């Protein structure tokens, strides 16, 4: 805060020389007389002289009163009072001199102000004429000065700021971005803490967002397993078998790309440009992006596998033996569908307690930039094994003679490796024993037993994988329009080609056709039906892996019960599961196809080369022309502009009758003359309606052809 007083302002005047006064006079039109020089200096000398006189008086007085002070207790009160009065007299004389000094100064300042006001009032006309002369001299009119005063003010704000203020300064409180912007705006502007951390770390943002920089160094064993996994995926995607010699080089190239991504944190564009010698004979650019995506999927698979294995290790002493599931998870060819089956199986067996006590796979590691991916799907409620019907399952499951895992292995190998064993107790006897215990209806107990056993067999990962492989090519899709679709889907409608489909195989859908089906179903234009055809010969073969082939009375009693379980398992559990799973797979494949199409389209636009001027016109200045018709409506104007190489506008043209049959030739003639006048190197046509493409673009192409033929 600036403090100012009259004395300080007068002090500043002493430092102004003659040129400063002339500059003030030119800008204000007023002549300010300089203050008397050496005024403060004379006063200072006078003050010093009075101060020295005062000191001499004090010293002499002190000497004269030394003896009385030393004998202060011996003298009378009268002598003491005399000495006291002498000191008071000296002090009062000193204070009176200082008071006279300040009084004289204030009187001088008041006189100066009074003289200034009086002089100002007396010579107002002279000052006005003098100001006008100064303004004319500076080539500034009074209106210009008034405009400057309106913008910058007349100095009153400055005067107010120079007035004395309190010594306490108010510090402005620092304001954070959270107090100004909404969280969504901060995230959109990339001002969050995570964004700042990404800027600080010298690693590509794409690698940081996928946690690539936080993954541990890849070992040779893991590198070999991941290379085999990715090679199998690329080979399956490309539908090209590899020879043994080429496969070895192919795996080495994939391993090199994985090291660049995992250890050196290189992005695919950099690898494709600066590391070609490692892959160009075996991999394409699309293969590089596929490796990048499959590396992320591999990481998620391994994290889920480690999480499940850690969960199962904590339950080694439980009554449920999960050794077969551990062996199943340790297979190298495990895919996403297999992992999803394992997750659903765990949730079915253990319910909502799944993974509640398991330790995190990434414990002790930084979770920065961790994407919110749900690694484990949770099912609400208790599991079937812990429900009130679990005693039925525990009673009947051992008596079936074959476990879900054994049945799944039979299906996978399409060979009867495990033979069902017939129990000595018949199904009817078990039902009667449970009736006497629970006082329930025998038919209800039988239905519950069949339903629970069918559910248990359908949740086995081996069984699900076998049915996916068996019925993968037996998925058919049919469509028929809804009442709304019958009226809206005409012959020219975008969904006309999928209005009626009759059992189209799943593998026959290409590109984004399946996405069109889902979108049409979403807007209630089509009904989509997915069928899984389970041929009778396949069903009999599956049934043979589940039935007992022994000739005994117990086998005759248990085989009908097994048939009912298998039918319920296939119809009510396996078929809905396959429809859902294949629908998800087709949707994912269609989305990936659309994504690749967008990628290639964007790449072509980014790699589009610049315009190269013909050699014949290299000496003449280049011009470029743009024509826009927006929506091509009758009331829309058509604009044409020509710019030079520096982007500066050369000339523009406006056309308003492109849809008027009578006046359109006039506009085309103007446009033709406009093109012939400027001879543009390139003509760009833009708009958002078909009229722009089929009308305006065709007319301009015709005009250019005519001008070329005429030699213009």
Predicted confidence (pLDDT) per residue in 330-370, tens digit: 775 778 888 889 888 888 887 755 554 343 334 433 333 33
- Within 123-242, where are the H helices? 124-137, 142-152, 156-162, 177-180, 183-188, 193-200, 205-209, 220-238
- Within 359-441, where are the H helices? 390-396, 404-413, 427-438
Distance CA 408, CA 418 (A): 10
Distance CA 611, CA 613 (A): 6
- Greater confidence (69 vs 314) lies with 314
| Residue ranges matching CATH 1.10.3500.10 in the chain | 335-352+386-474+533-605
| Residue from 687, 601, 649, 651 nearest 698 by CA | 687
> Is 667's pLDDT higher than 60?
yes
SS3 content of the chain, % helix, strand, coil (to 5): 60, 5, 30
| Residue ranges matching CATH 3.30.420.140 in the chain | 624-710
So what's the pLDDT on residue 87?
A: 44
Band of pLDDT at residue 185, cut at 50, 70 and 90? confident
Out of 123-137, 188-202, 248-262, least confident range: 123-137
335-352+386-474+533-605, superfamily in CATH?
Tex N-terminal region-like (1.10.3500.10)
Domain 210-299 architecture: Orthogonal Bundle (1.10)
Residue 354 near residue 386 (C-beta atoms within 8 A) = no
Residue 585 makes CB contacts below 8 A (sequence gap 6+) with 337
- Greater confidence (620 vs 661) lies with 661
> Is 189's pLDDT higher than 90?
no
End-to-end CA distance of the chain: 75
Distance CA 101, CA 46 (A): 10
Over range 132-146, report the average pLDDT: 59
So what's the pLDDT on residue 623?
A: 87
Q: Please tell me the pTM assigned to this model.
A: 0.60
Question: Which CATH number among 3.40.50.150, 3.30.1600.10, 3.30.420.140, 3.50.50.60 corresponds to the domain 624-710?
Answer: 3.30.420.140
Band of pLDDT at residue 94, cut at 50, 70 and 90? very low
**Of all residues in the chain, what percent carry a pLDDT higher than 70?**
68
| Residue from 513, 512, 517 nearest 596 by CA | 512
Select the highest-mean-pLDDT range: 163-167, 175-179, 199-203, 615-619: 199-203
Distance CA 236, CA 241 (A): 8
Over range 251-274, report the average pLDDT: 92
* DSSP class of 609: P
Select the highest-mean-pLDDT range: 129-143, 380-394, 396-410, 616-630: 396-410
Predicted confidence (pLDDT) per residue in 211-223, tens digit: 766 778 888 988 9
Residue 271 makes CB contacts below 8 A (sequence gap 6+) with 257, 260, 261, 278, 279, 288
**Of all residues in the chain, what percent carry a pLDDT higher than 90?**
20
| Residue ranges matching CATH 1.10.10.650 in the chain | 210-299
Over range 87-99, report the average pLDDT: 46
């Amino acid at each position: 805060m600036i403090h100012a007083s009259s004395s300080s302002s007068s002090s500043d005047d002493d430092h102004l020389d003659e040129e400063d006064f002339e500059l003030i006079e030119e800008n204000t039109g007023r002549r300010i007389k300089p203050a008397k020089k050496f005024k403060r200096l004379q006063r200072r000398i006078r003050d010093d002289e009075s101060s020295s006189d005062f000191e001499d008086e004090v010293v002499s007085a002190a000497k004269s009163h030394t003896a009385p002070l030393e004998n202060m207790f011996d003298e009378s009160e009268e002598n003491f009072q005399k000495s006291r009065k002498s000191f008071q007299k000296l002090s009062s004389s000193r204070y009176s001199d200082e008071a006279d000094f300040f009084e004289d100064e204030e009187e001088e300042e008041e006189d100066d102000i009074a003289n200034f006001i009086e002089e100002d009032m007396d010579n107002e006309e002279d000052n006005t004429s003098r100001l006008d002369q100064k303004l004319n001299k500076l080539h500034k009119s009074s209106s210009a000065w008034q405009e400057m005063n309106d913008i910058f003010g007349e100095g009153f704000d400055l005067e107010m700021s120079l007035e004395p203020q309190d010594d306490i300064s108010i510090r402005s409180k620092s304001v954070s971005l959270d107090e100004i912007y909404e969280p969504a705006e901060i995230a959109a502007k990339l001002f969050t803490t995570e964004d700042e951390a990404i800027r600080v770390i010298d690693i590509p943002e794409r690698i940081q967002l996928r946690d690539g920089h936080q993954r541990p160094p890849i070992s040779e064993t893991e590198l070999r397993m991941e290379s085999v996994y990715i090679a199998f995926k690329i080979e399956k995607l490309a539908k090209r078998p590899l020879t043994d010699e080429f496969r070895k080089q192919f795996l080495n190239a994939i391993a090199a790309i994985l090291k660049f991504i995992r250890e050196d944190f290189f992005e695919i564009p950099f690898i494709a440009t600066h590391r070609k010698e490692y892959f160009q004979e075996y991999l394409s650019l699309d293969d590089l992006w596929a490796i990048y995506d499959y590396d992320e999927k591999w990481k998620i698979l391994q994290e889920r596998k480690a999480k499940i294995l850690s969960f199962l290790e904590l339950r080694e002493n439980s009554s449920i033996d999960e050794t077969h599931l551990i062996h199943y998870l340790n297979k190298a060819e495990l895919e996403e569908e297999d992992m999803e089956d394992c997750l659903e199986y765990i949730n079915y067996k253990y319910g909502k307690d799944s993974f509640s006590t398991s330790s995190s796979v990434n414990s002790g590691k930084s979770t920065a930039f961790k994407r919110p991916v749900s690694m484990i799907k949770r099912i609400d409620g208790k599991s079937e094994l812990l429900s009130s019907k679990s005693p039925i399952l525990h009673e009947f499951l051992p008596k079936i003679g074959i476990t879900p895992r054994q049945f799944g292995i039979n299906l996978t190998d399409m060979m009867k490796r495990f033979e069902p064993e017939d129990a000595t107790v018949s199904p009817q006897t078990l039902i009667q024993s449970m009736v006497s215990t629970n006082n329930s209806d025998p038919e209800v107990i039988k239905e519950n037993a069949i339903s629970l056993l069918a559910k248990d067999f359908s949740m086995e990962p081996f069984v699900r994988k076998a049915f996916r492989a068996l019925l993968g090519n037996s998925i058919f899709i049919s469509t028929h329009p809804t009442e709304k679709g019958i009226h809206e889907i005409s012959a020219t409608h975008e969904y006309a080609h999928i209005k009626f489909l009759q059992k189209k195989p799943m593998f026959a859908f290409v590109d984004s056709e399946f996405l069109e089906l889902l979108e049409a179903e979403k807007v209630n234009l089509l009904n989509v039906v997915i069928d899984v055809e389970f041929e009778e010969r396949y069903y009999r073969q599956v049934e043979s892996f589940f039935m007992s082939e022994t000739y005994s009375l117990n086998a005759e009693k248990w085989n009908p019960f097994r048939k009912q379980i298998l039918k319920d398992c296939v119809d009510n559990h396996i078929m809905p599961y396959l429809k859902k799973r294949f629908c998800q797979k087709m949707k994912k494949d269609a989305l990936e196809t659309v994504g690749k199409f967008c990628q290639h389209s964007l790449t072509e636009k980014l790699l589009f080369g610049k315009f190269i001027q013909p050699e014949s016109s290299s000496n003449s200045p280049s011009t470029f022309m743009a024509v826009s018709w927006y929506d091509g409506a009758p009331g829309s104007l058509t604009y044409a502009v020509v710019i030079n190489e520096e982007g500066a506008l050369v000339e523009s043209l406006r056309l308003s009758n492109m849809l008027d049959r009578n006046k359109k030739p006039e506009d085309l003639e103007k446009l033709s003359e406009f093109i012939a006048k400027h001879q543009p190197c390139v003509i760009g046509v833009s708009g958002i309606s078909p009229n722009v493409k089929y009308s305006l673009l065709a007319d301009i192409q015709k005009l250019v052809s005519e001008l070329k033929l005429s030699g213009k």
